[in-house]
Amino acid sequence: AQSVTQPDIHITVSEGASLELRCNYSYGATPYLFWYVQSPGQGLQLLLKYFSGDTLVQGIKGFEAEFKRSQSSFNLRKPSVHWSDAAEYFCVLTGGGNKLTFGTGTQLKVEL
Amino acid sequence: DTGVSQDPRHKITKRGQNVTFRCDPISEHNRLYWYRQTLGQGPEFLTYFQNEAQLEKSRLLSDRFSAERPKGSFSTLEIQRTEQGDSAMYLCASSLKDRSYNEQFFGPGTRLTVL
């Protein structure tokens, strides 16, 4: 069975500070991994994806994530957070099939 | 805008009533997915279609739930005899199968409240 764990339910950071959202996964092979963002009243938007190759992937809005096979992790980072980044972030896994498995999400609050 | 659209955006119903939601995927996408998201949780897979064929259903999809995609374009999700536990956001996504993995594009969702 595949699963995704996001250990932080809520995170608060100050605008301009750096951000790291944690994600651990469980899967028997190399998964496809994603980070999605969900803002109130808006659909889920893909931030970035990892399929293979370079373990550091760049996404939209200045986000990046690093795949670490030895730690079964795929943490999301941003060097300087903007107030508009406040949203819920989901780490997502698929084994290459059609079903996406989502983590429970991390709610990001940005203090001005 | 040619993104995924869902209708209605909000639905309030009484327990025991039937409800139907519609999803219009991105026009050239041949795969369509339904997910359910309850408060404080990530979306959970319900079912998916490739063209008009329903290829996979989750165990979450009880007998009261039925999904169709009759012409391989839009899809409907019907819930019969709604229960309070059905209250959730129902999300639709679509993708184009042309490689080993295809990005799923999500609609804004239909929020169902069962009183």
Contact list, A92 vs chain B (CB under 8 Å): 42
Amino acid at site B47: T
B86-105 confidence digits (pLDDT tens): 999 999 999 987 665 678 99
A70-112 confidence digits (pLDDT tens): 999 999 999 999 999 999 999 999 876 678 999 999 999 999 9
How many whole angstroms separate alpha carbon B115 and alpha carbon B110? 16
Q: Identify the DSSP state of A39.
A: -
The shortest CB-CB distance from B45 to any of A46, A100, A103 is to A100
CB A92, CB A34: distance < 8 Å: yes
B11-46 confidence digits (pLDDT tens): 999 999 999 999 999 998 999 999 999 998 999 999
Contact list, A45 vs chain B (CB under 8 Å): 106
CA distance A103 to chain B (A): 6
How many whole angstroms separate alpha carbon B16 and alpha carbon B14? 6
CA distance B61 to chain A (A): 14
pLDDT score, position A40: 81
pLDDT score, position B98: 66
> Could you write out the DSSP letters of every residue in B88-103?
EEEEEEEE--SSSS--
How many whole angstroms separate alpha carbon B31 and alpha carbon A100? 13
